[in-house]
Amino acid sequence: MHLPFSTFALQININRSLIFLFLILITGCSKDDDEVAQPQDEFYKDALTSASIQQLSGVWAIYEVAFEGKSANVAATYEECGRDFFQFTATNTYRDYYYTSSYQCEKEVQDLNYDLEKGVVTLHNDWGASEEMVITGLTSDKLVFKMKMDIDDDPDLEVLIFVARRYSPPNDLDLYSYTFGSEITDENRNEIKFTWQAYNGFYKFDRYEIYRSDSGCSKANATLVASIKESSKTFFIDENPPVAEEICYYLKIFNEKGLIGESELITFFTEDLRPVEVEFVKVEMQNAEVKLEWAAFEGKYFSHYEIRVRNYKGGTGYGYQEYPVAVIEDKEITSYVDKTPPRLKDPVYAIYAYDIFGNVNTEFYAEKNAWELNWTHPEVVNLEMIEFAVPAPNSSEIFFYGRTEAGEYQLIKYNYGDHTVSATASKPPQASTGVQMQVHSTQNETELFFAQGNALAVYNAADLSYKYTLKLNNAPFFYDFAYLGDNIYGFTDNETLYTFKRSGNSMEFIAKKSHFTTHYGNTDYHLLPLKNREILVGHYREPKSYKFTINAGGEISGGELVNIPITSRWQKKTLYSPDQNYVINLQDNKLFSTLTWSEQGFFETPQFPTGISRDGNLILGSNNDPTENITNESFHEKKVKIYNLTTSKVTTVAAKGYPHLLFENHLGQIISISSGFKREDLKSATPKPDIFVEVIGF
């Protein structure tokens, strides 16, 4: 009962409308100012001293109010909601229910304690405030009581009489089912969780029921998956959901009178889940193998662990890649040994947990689940990119010119038999160049030549000790050079072929002859020496090449155009086989005869050839496109393609890495300069060094 005019702080609740109605009835009948107040004991007069808590217990609603002999009926505040009501419990709790709005029949509930002594009910709160009700009549269905209230402007309290009757409130309105919905936060993204507003009705709570539709999102095929008996438990977590992209749920709420209401079907999209992260405990090398240990997965819906290896620890950048190492489906297994560690400097291992819906616990670029191993595979060359690579003619070695992680360029000789650097240039080249370095057995010794402006830096090929620089006097900056034997060297710029004769550490000009008259805005002019002292001069944009003859003295003759294009560029090159008498154009996979100077044939595989065998019968390469932008999804494979010109058959051979440059060495072995991770080519930048040399089992 809501008493808005009560002088006491408890504000015991008697319906507002009954007071207003009563005041209307007594308009003009207020007390005379000279009327003598009733003594205090008059308030307790007629108290029903025999009233007991057992008789009082139950639910009541006020139907009448009286003052000074006049009475009025009390209507419901909101007809659609029913009457305000109050309850006395057998455990001395007074509970007041009063509606505050007709919208969804919103109500408030006030709990107080009460004592009953000699017909007087004392209501009080925890702070010591109290209010009294004097019972003057009490039967099984009727309660009459008095209370003091202030209903006018004078300071005295008036005594009002109230008549209440037993009351059965209507069943609670469904104020709860519409609050049913999924909850996804950063803390619980690994579980299917639904929440709702707790039942706060008058009647005794019975249960919440959760139903799930596994397919079709229909109540017709939904099944009961949970029954919750505690009204305060207002959440549900599905511990054993079906594997589906969408799962539908709905809620039913029951009290002692039956079903209050049920929610609409709510769809949960399982792609929104994220499993709990898994972290490594330890990653270490043991006997050339990598042992990994991690903390067990503690989330829900576990499917499997996946161990991957990548070239970044955290974040991402150009060349980021990550590849699977192992899948483990037992949640209790928390260790793994990688018996074939990646050919990569300081590899990064990452572990992921997947749920049954295919969701992974973290983004691939995260750092939390990763461990960078301070170890480098012994076969990896300590260069992050290689500008030039030239095989040694008579040993298991390759000359590399490339850049280290520190940004320094080095010229080294690498022994791929024992995976060591056998020599490092005592004086590295001082200027960059687009002219391929070359190794030749000259009349002096086996030497390495490195273009430097309009000069050649000369190194002893045995130990890469710097010897001297061969300067070209009275010659322009050249775009390519060739050693023609007998200490004769050829050079070309964009319009002229030059020849020089070497004498020790000096070069003597011999002859020159013009070739192309159309000049291009680049330096891609190339020389291709042939047998019989012939040489081709070409450019990748020219459909034909100039053929010259240079005699033992360096004199130049000829100069006719032949139907052989030279398409050598930074990605592709043109090779010559003196045994097979062909020039192979690796730009468009065509062969040209050096006997008829015409196209001889073409091949489809390998799609991207990079070398030929010593006798010219085998064309070596792969189907990995060097122009493709590298990602995890790039179509690159660890396979070598070998085309046999005699049989026209292609052989595919598995490789340890991604092949980039292939050749046949002095032992007849097919050698590949490969990378542990995908890269466009040997010149492209990568996050970590991963280049190595392998023997292809062919």
Looking at the fold, whether 152 and 181 belong to one and the same domain comes out as: no
Q: Give the pLDDT band of residue 40 (cuts 50, 70, 90).
A: low
Q: Which helix (H) or strand (E) holds 67?
A: strand 58-67
0.85 surpassed by pTM: no
What average pLDDT does range 452-461 have in this prediction?
96
**pLDDT over 90 (residue 46):** yes
Give the CA angle between residues 611, 521, 584 to the nearest 5°. 20
Looking at the fold, whether 20 and 112 belong to one and the same domain comes out as: yes
Looking at the fold, whether 267 and 296 belong to one and the same domain comes out as: no
Cβ 494 vs Cβ 542: under 8 Å: no
Q: pLDDT at position 320, please?
A: 85
* Amino acid identity for residue 110 in this structure: Q
3-state secondary structure of 24: helix
Tell me the per-residue pLDDT of 400-435, one tens digit each, with 9 for 90 and over.
Answer: 999 999 999 999 999 999 999 999 999 999 888 989
Q: pLDDT over 90 for what percent of the chain?
A: 77
Domain annotation covers residue 592: no
Q: pLDDT at position 17, please?
A: 41
Q: pLDDT at position 250, please?
A: 99
What average pLDDT does range 126-139 have in this prediction?
94
Q: pLDDT at position 481, please?
A: 96
Domain annotation covers residue 654: yes
Euclidean distance between CA atoms 492 and 497, whole angstroms: 5
Q: pLDDT at position 6, please?
A: 41
Looking at the fold, whether 242 and 299 belong to one and the same domain comes out as: no
**pLDDT over 50 (residue 441):** yes
Tell me the per-residue pLDDT of 529-565, one tens digit each, with 9 for 90 and over.
Answer: 999 999 999 999 999 999 999 999 999 999 999 999 9
What average pLDDT does range 657-665 have in this prediction?
98
**pLDDT over 50 (residue 39):** no
Domain annotation covers residue 335: yes
Q: Give the pLDDT band of residue 302 (cuts 50, 70, 90).
A: very high
Looking at the fold, whether 244 and 299 belong to one and the same domain comes out as: no
* Amino acid identity for residue 382 in this structure: N
Q: Give the pLDDT band of residue 331 (cuts 50, 70, 90).
A: very high
**Which residue in this structure is represented by tokens 């898994």?**
278
CB atoms within 10 A of CB 643: 21
Domain annotation covers residue 632: yes
Give the CA angle between residues 432, 686, 628 to the nearest 5°. 95
Q: What is the largest CA-CA distance in the chain?
A: 149
Q: pLDDT at position 365, please?
A: 53
Euclidean distance between CA atoms 43 and 267, whole angstroms: 62
Euclidean distance between CA atoms 570 and 589, whole angstroms: 16
Q: pLDDT at position 203, please?
A: 86
Residue 26 or 506, more confident = 506
Q: 107 lies in which domain range?
A: 16-166
Domain annotation covers residue 657: yes
Q: Residue 197's domain is classified under what CATH number?
A: 2.60.40.10
Cβ 641 vs Cβ 652: under 8 Å: yes
What average pLDDT does range 478-506 have in this prediction?
95
Q: pLDDT at position 571, please?
A: 59
- 25-28 — which CB contacts under 8 Å span 24+ positions? 25/70, 25/71, 25/72, 26/67, 26/68, 26/70
Looking at the fold, whether 140 and 112 belong to one and the same domain comes out as: yes
**pLDDT over 50 (residue 21):** no
**pLDDT over 80 (residue 570):** no
Q: Give the pLDDT band of residue 27 (cuts 50, 70, 90).
A: very low
Q: Give the pLDDT band of residue 24 (cuts 50, 70, 90).
A: very low
Picking from 272, 295, 314, the residue at the C-terminal end of a domain is 272
Looking at the fold, whether 352 and 230 belong to one and the same domain comes out as: no
Looking at the fold, whether 157 and 199 belong to one and the same domain comes out as: no
Domain annotation covers residue 523: no
What average pLDDT does range 6-26 have in this prediction?
43
Q: pLDDT at position 175, please?
A: 82
Looking at the fold, whether 182 and 291 belong to one and the same domain comes out as: no
Q: Give the pLDDT band of residue 307 (cuts 50, 70, 90).
A: very high
Q: pLDDT at position 574, please?
A: 87
Q: pLDDT at position 173, please?
A: 78
What average pLDDT does range 504-511 have in this prediction?
95
Picking from 272, 300, 329, the residue at the C-terminal end of a domain is 272
Q: pLDDT at position 363, please?
A: 64
Euclidean distance between CA atoms 658 and 155, whole angstroms: 99
Number of domains in the chain: 4
What average pLDDT does range 504-526 have in this prediction?
91
Q: pLDDT over 70 for what percent of the chain?
A: 93
Looking at the fold, whether 22 and 159 belong to one and the same domain comes out as: yes
**pLDDT over 50 (residue 11):** no
Domain annotation covers residue 589: no
Looking at the fold, whether 57 and 126 belong to one and the same domain comes out as: yes
Residue 6 or 535, more confident = 535
Q: pLDDT at position 2, please?
A: 52
Burial 440-476 (b: 16+ CB within 10 A, else e): bebeeeebbbbbbeebbbbbbbeebebbeebebeebe
Q: Residue 43's domain is classified under what CATH number?
A: 2.40.128.280
* Amino acid identity for residue 579 in this structure: D
Q: What average pLDDT does the chain have?
A: 91
What average pLDDT does range 291-311 have in this prediction?
96
Q: Which of 211, 373, 354, 408 is nearest to 280 (CA)?
A: 373
DSSP code string of 192-226: -EEE-PPP--SSPEEEEEEEEESSSS-GGG-EEEE
Picking from 312, 338, 372, the residue at the C-terminal end of a domain is 372
Euclidean distance between CA atoms 537 and 564, whole angstroms: 10
**pLDDT over 80 (residue 282):** yes
Looking at the fold, whether 53 and 136 belong to one and the same domain comes out as: yes
Domain annotation covers residue 651: yes
Residue 216 or 367, more confident = 216
